[in-house]
Amino acid sequence: MSDMRIDQVETVIVDIPLRRAHRFARAGMNAQPVLYVFVRTAGGVTGVGEGVVPGGPWWGGESVETMQLIVERYLGPVLLGRGVDEIPMILRDIADVVAANLFAKTAVEVALHDAWARHLGVPVHVLLGGAARTAVPVTWALGTEPADAVVEEALVKLDSGLHSSFKLKMGKQDPADDVTRIVKVAEKLAGVAGVRVDINARWDRLTALSHLPGLAAAGIEMIEQPLPGHDVEGMAAVAAALPIPVMADESLRTPADAIRLATAGAAGIFAVKTTKSGGLRAGRAIAEVAAAAGIPCYAATSIESPVGTAASLHAACASPATPWGSELFGPLLMAEEMLVEPLVYDADGLHLPDGPGLGVELDPARVRAYRRK
């Protein structure tokens, strides 16, 4: 229909302050840069998508600055004049213009789904096949701080009633010291909370095989991406050596990666991120490969703002299997609320919002306040 034709594509970068610094193995941040992509139609409907990476280009090679350039110069022109319901053909044409750049493509793809669903008056999850659940549990992510500081933060979160599991970042310290730190945390939280760890692809195979059994013995529930993303064979060796599951993140970006990992027996859990895979449809395809292979999924995070979090939530609720819950805690880490009506977190997890599209509305005043000049 003519009113579904795209007549404008706009990008805005915002820098959203965090409640506390968040540190990874290789980077840290006090604010999260986010790229918003607005797709407007002739019928007056606007869809919004989000491009975001965890802490900068160290993770996937993209940043909000590169995403903005790619969208404005290369992807936006492909969209103009097209219908928001032409998503498969648009994605095909985008792939002919730009290789890789999956985070930038995610922002566009999610905006298209949001606009299309708003035109139809349905939630985005309907376009993904419908909701299998209406909420997902949320794990709280902790940084690379000393054990006492991590335990203190975890206990506060436990008291809030919003979280019963925690994921700790590793890989910044000497491996032996890092393991000692994690074991201390696990001992303090034993019997009251689940503890998982993320090594952010920092260790080699020998280091992982030497130190990870100690973490398993200490009661750690799951190990995320101990080895570099390309080392699928090494991931399989580590997975075979441990009594607890290894989760693939940096090794898993595309449905083809999902098939490769499943075939190799290299992961017991898939970390599915809408952002890193190129959008909702690719994430759904990864989840379907996982379901066929009997591999559970985890709705992972790139520290999205509420827009990207809502997109990932729709995908997780439509997914065939997410028994490990989610890490969609990004909005709770941010010091400012970016929506007119906040997403709902409670003891049952993060709840799927009502309303058409993503079901969320950005607060224009907040976008203006944190827009990068």
* Measured CA distances, 51 to 38, 177, 243 (Å): 11, 35, 36
Would you state the pLDDT for residue 1?
58
Looking at the DSSP bridge assignments, the partners of residue 47 are 39
Query: Of these residues, 105, 157, 169, 273, which one is catalytic?
Result: 169
337 given a catalytic annotation: no
Would you state the pLDDT for residue 251?
98
Count Cβ atoms below 10 Å from residue 197 Cβ, excluding itself. 27
- Tens digit of pLDDT at every position of the chain (373 positions): 579 999 999 999 999 999 999 988 788 899 999 999 999 999 999 999 999 999 899 999 999 999 999 999 999 999 999 999 999 999 999 999 999 999 999 999 999 999 999 999 999 999 999 999 999 999 999 988 999 999 999 999 999 999 999 999 999 899 999 999 999 999 999 999 999 999 999 999 999 999 999 999 999 999 999 999 999 999 999 999 999 999 999 999 999 999 999 999 999 999 999 999 999 999 999 999 999 999 999 999 999 999 999 999 999 999 977 889 999 999 999 999 999 999 999 999 999 999 999 999 999 999 999 999 8
pTM value is 0.97
Would you state the pLDDT for residue 77?
98
Taking the C-alpha atoms of residue 7 and residue 351, their distance in angstroms, rounded to an integer, is 33
Short-list 275, 219, 277, 211, CA closest to 244: 219
Count Cβ atoms below 10 Å from residue 147 Cβ, excluding itself. 17
Would you state the pLDDT for residue 143?
87
250 given a catalytic annotation: no
Which residue in this structure is represented by tokens 């789904």?
113
Amino acid, res. 199: I
Query: Of these residues, 221, 224, 250, 327, which one is catalytic?
Result: 327
